[in-house]
Amino acid sequence: MAFQKKISFEVTLYDSLSELNEDDNVLMSAAVSARKRAYAPYSNFFVGASVLLENNEIIEGNNQENASYPSGLCAERVAIFYAGAKFPGVQIKAMAISAAALNHEVCEPAAPCGNCRQAISEYEFKQAKPIRILLMGETGGVIECDSVADLLPLGFNSSYLE
């Protein structure tokens, strides 16, 4: 017998960066700093990401585009892959993401693309512990998600390959 099931999640909304605790503010500031160094000459959409590790290291990444667009990498994957390469086995506590555009102000938080959600989900599944996500545009409020699973319900992971 078929039935319907509603899948939903809750987020915390902050009106501005000033409402974040000190640690989250530092993490988002690192994402903003990384965003300002992004290489995005084709999309003119600049994204920075920062990852807070269990050892309190903060790893930054930004989008890196390529003339063979879209073969570049998004900020989220640059940051999370670098964290995995530099600190293998160290768990990820949180990730902050900030986006801006050249030709208009990004006032709303931009969520990770599907590829990035899947990559973050892989690390979350591997460590068996949620990764908190903070999202912000260039200005405006901040969205906090308790887990990437909130952004990618019914996600695919290695358990399906066993």
**Active-site residue list:** 76
Torsion sign over Cα 13, 93, 148, 26: positive
Burial class, 160, CB count within 10 angstroms (exposed 0-12 / middle 13-18 / buried 19+)? exposed
Spatial neighbors of 104 by CB under 8 A, at least 6 apart, are none
